Amino acid sequence: MTADQIIQCSYEASAMLCLCEAAAWAIQNGENSPEELAGAIVAGMQLARDLVGVMHDALESHEGLKGGAQ
C-alpha cells in the first residue's frame, strides 16, 4: 500500500466516523427513526474499523521492515 493510499484510507475512515457521529446526534435529538440510524451507525463503524485495519496492516508491515515493531 502506498503512502497516498494510506492517507486516502484514513480520510475515508474519518468520513465514516463523522457520518456516524451525525447519525448519533440525530438519534439523540429525535430527528429520525432510531432503528434506521442505529443500523447505519453499525454499518459505518464496521466499515471504518475495516479501513483502520487496512491502514494498521500497511503501517505495521512498513514499520516491521525498520525493526522494533511489536
With beta carbons less than 8 A apart as the criterion, state whether 26 and 37 touch.
yes
pTM of the model: 0.75
With beta carbons less than 8 A apart as the criterion, state whether 40 and 50 touch.
no
User: Where do we find the cell 484510507?
Assistant: 9
Q: Measured at the alpha carbon of residue 27, what is the angle toward residues 23 and 30, in degrees to the nearest 5?
A: 135
pLDDT digits (tens, 9 = 90+) for 25-61: 999 998 878 888 888 899 999 999 999 999 989 888 8
With beta carbons less than 8 A apart as the criterion, state whether 59 and 28 touch.
no
